[in-house]
Amino acid sequence: MNLKQLEVFIAVAESSSFSRAAEMTFLTQSTVSQHISSLETEFGLKLFDRTGKGALLTEAGKILLLHARHLTLEAREIPLILNRFKGLEDAVLKICGSNIPATYMLPDFIPVFHRLHPGVTITLLQGDSRETLERLQREEVELAVLGSRFDDPGIDYAPLIIDTVSLVVNADHRWSAKAKVSVEDLVVETFIFREPGSGTDRTVRAAMAGAGFDTGRLNIKTYLGSNEAVKQAILSGAGVSFLSEMSVKRECEMGRLSLVKVEGLEILRTIYLANRLGREMSPPAEAFASLVKLMYRSNATE
């Protein structure tokens, strides 16, 4: 069974005539007969009674007509749907972001994108950097924005912005008024860390190792699964942590949290836009990627 056979079947059913159906479908009458014969052979059912009053539907034919009309109508709409998708008039884009870009970067970018492409509906999923990459690998999303780069030859990473990660303390903490502390000062403090697998956790550990400091010496009492949870724990006095400056900007401006410089330690990381190599992006994904690179990429270096 194919779409053309169903169109011919509908024409015969609606005209009750093989000859008129041939005129309607621009086919010869013998070709129309072959299409109907093929359908009857495939289903093992007679679809028309050939009578003096014309070709009349059998009960099986009536059932097929009901569904054939629905199928052919849906098929005619496919080009319209795809053309609207191509023109970004009616499209859905699924993306994923690790915690920092998904919470503090993309919500500011998405309204800009929607002003240019109001016909695109965006679904934004969120997780740590590893989860974000895995969603992209499983093709659950087309694009990912994450704060860590993994070794995967199938993924292309485009740098967007540089994110600074700093030591963050409660405004009432004894360090809040200090210009800086030493790396050795850190061993006497209670720390809250992001969960292993997060971009922040990987960045902090790599930077401290590069500075010759073993993070195993830190008194890490709590691991939390989101940046917001870490912030709330710091505010409640549960300890201190290293967090993205993007994520604590508002609290620092309100005087609730403070950034403390650690002597000899600078923690920088790149926020990347990632997509699958060798896979053609949909029109909405292309538009999203082009705009986000235009807005952010000039500020980042590898």
pLDDT above 60: residue 298: no
**Averaged pLDDT, 74-92:** 71
Find out whether 250 and 168 touch, Cβ atoms under 8 Å: no
pLDDT above 90: residue 79: no
Look at 66-80, 92-106, 201-215, 227-241 and tell me which has the smallest mean pLDDT: 66-80
Which domains does the chain show, CATH number per domain? 3-85 (1.10.10.10), 91-160+273-299 (3.40.190.10), 161-269 (3.40.190.10)
Identify the pLDDT of residue 279: 87
pLDDT: which is higher, 86 or 64: 64
Phi-psi region at 19: left, alpha or beta (left = phi > 0; alpha = psi -120 to 50): alpha
Identify the pLDDT of residue 73: 81
Secondary structure (DSSP) of the chain: --HHHHHHHHHHHHHT-HHHHHHHHT--HHHHHHHHHHHHHHHTS--EEEETTEEEE-HHHHHHHHHHHHHHHHHHHHHHHHHHHHTTSSEEEEEEEEHHIIIIIHHHHHHHHHHH-TTEEEEEEEE-HHHHHHHHHTTS-SEEEES-----TTEEEEEEEEEEEEEEEETTSTTTT-SEE-TGGGGGSEEEEEPTTSHHHHHHHHHHHHTT--GGGSEEEEEESSHHHHHHHHHTTS-BEEEEHHHHHHHHHTTSEEEEEETT--EEEEEEEEEETT-PPPHHHHHHHHHHHHHHGGG---
Residue-wise pLDDT for 126-155, tens only, equals 988 889 999 999 999 999 999 888 988 999
Identify the pLDDT of residue 83: 62
**Averaged pLDDT, 18-29:** 90
Identify the pLDDT of residue 220: 93
pTM, rounded to two decimals? 0.68
Residue-wise pLDDT for 46-74, tens only, equals 999 988 888 999 999 999 998 988 888 88
